[in-house]
A = this chain, B = another copy of it.
Amino acid sequence: MKVSIIGATGYGGLELLRFLHNHKEVVEIGLFTSSEEGTVFSDKFPHLTNIYNQPLLKIDYDVLAKSDVVFASTPSGVSSTLFPPLVNLGPKLIDLSGDFRLKNLESYESWYKKKPAPKEVVEKSVYGLTEWNEAAIKKSELIANPGCYPTAVLLSILPLIKHQLIDPSFLVIDAKSGISGAGNKPSNTTHYSEANESFSIYKINEHQHIPEIEQAISMFTDTETTITFNTHLVPMTRGILATSYAQVTEGVTQQQLVDCLTSTYEKHPFVRVIQEASSIGTNRVKGSNYCDIYVKLDERTNRATIIGVIDNLVKGAAGQAIQNMNVQFGLPQQTGLQLVPYFI
């Protein structure tokens, strides 16, 4: 397979390369850029010395069109114009940004404050939450790879909503992310001395992943709901842990909650249902494509605490993108993705 990456210089792009380097079906990787043509990639990223010494290439549709798959790992508002000309030209397209995720274009415009992608292209796109949309992904030409937060949230709560074990009408989701989620562009928020040793909240009630989560709940469980969703910044590089809270349906037991998760994912290699709360932590999935999930019924309140944990750059971005590529090409989902979590 010939792979092209647009936006290789971002963290999502670097993670694609980290995994694709050991993907046995990938024989060639082209790195494309809109602004740094000719730069030797390992000069810019010395950790890749002797691994990716090749120069960055100018974006050229003739060249891209000969790829088997093109990943876009670009900021919001870029692939909405870059990708449409490539549709139907041959390569499978996988977009890691939010540009093709929201089917409602007004919603996109209102949450992202950007012009949406063309309607017909958005309609063609398939939401790449692998474990919940495999059949559609298999046939897709253009995948809208899920956001990092939605991945952690949806994998943990969708089974319980679908089987009506929790009440979706008052769903509070409190999510926390490592700082790499903010990307590689320096800012005050990501300045070491000010981000280090501080925990903060951001985009209160305004995160663009809110409509994505609501849309996916609707899509996969036929449930319309308005969620409360907030995001916090954790002084660490990688990892997302999302804690969700909901009233549990009268009479439902802890065992039923766990069984629901277990049976949903028993055939899915990258979702692990965790039994002990003390076994949950972002370091348990760090560097890997796993999503660890956990549920606990609080009998005092009859409410459930539901946890989803991922590495935001892997299952929340590059890893899931490759997982989707594997599905598109009929490969085992795990191909190239079997790296063991770092832990320390």
Interface residues of A (CB under 8 A from B): 11, 14, 17-18, 21-22, 45-51, 170, 172, 174, 176, 178-180, 182, 184-188, 190-205, 226-228, 230, 232, 234-239, 241, 243, 245, 247, 269, 272, 274, 276-287, 292, 296, 298, 300-301, 303, 305, 307, 313, 338-344
Given contacts A237-B344, A303-B228, whether A283 and B198 have CB atoms under 8 Å apart is yes
Bound: A194/B227 CA distance, A: 33
16 residue pairs from A and B, CB less than 8 Å apart = A18-B340, A22-B340, A46-B276, A47-B285, A48-B341, A172-B172, A179-B193, A182-B193, A184-B191, A190-B191, A192-B192, A193-B237, A198-B281, A200-B241, A228-B303, A237-B344
Report whether B193 and A301 are in contact in the complex, using a CB–CB cutoff of 8 Å: no
Residues from chain B with a CB closer than 8 A to the CB of A198 are 236, 239, 281-284, 286
Report whether B196 and A245 are in contact in the complex, using a CB–CB cutoff of 8 Å: no
Bound: A49/B237 CA distance, A: 23
Bound: A277/B202 CA distance, A: 7
Report whether B237 and A235 are in contact in the complex, using a CB–CB cutoff of 8 Å: no
Report whether A305 and B340 are in contact in the complex, using a CB–CB cutoff of 8 Å: no
Count of this chain's copies in the oligomeric assembly: 4
A-B pairs, 6 with minimum CB distance = A46-B279, A198-B283, A200-B281, A186-B186, A205-B298, A174-B174
Report whether A196 and B236 are in contact in the complex, using a CB–CB cutoff of 8 Å: yes
Please give me the residue from chain B that is nearest to A48 by CB atom: B340
Report whether B193 and A191 are in contact in the complex, using a CB–CB cutoff of 8 Å: no
Nearest CB on B from A245, distance (A): 5
Residues from chain B with a CB closer than 8 A to the CB of A307 are 201
Residues from chain B with a CB closer than 8 A to the CB of A205 are 296, 298, 300-301, 305
Residues from chain B with a CB closer than 8 A to the CB of A22 are 22, 338-340
Please give me the residue from chain B that is nearest to A303 by CB atom: B228
Residues from chain B with a CB closer than 8 A to the CB of A11 are 193, 344
Indicate which residue in B201, B241, B272, B342 contacts A50 across the interface (CB closer than 8 Å).
B272
Residues from chain B with a CB closer than 8 A to the CB of A274 are 46, 49
Bound: A50/B290 CA distance, A: 10
Indicate which residue in B48, B283, B338 contacts A197 across the interface (CB closer than 8 Å).
B283
Report whether B193 and A14 are in contact in the complex, using a CB–CB cutoff of 8 Å: no
Please give me the residue from chain B that is nearest to A191 by CB atom: B186
Bound: A193/B50 CA distance, A: 23
Given contacts A190-B192, A283-B197, whether A172 and B45 have CB atoms under 8 Å apart is no
Nearest CB on B from A267, distance (A): 12
Residues from chain B with a CB closer than 8 A to the CB of A282 are 197-200
Indicate which residue in B18, B176, B232, B245 contacts A228 across the interface (CB closer than 8 Å).
B245
Bound: A1/B291 CA distance, A: 31
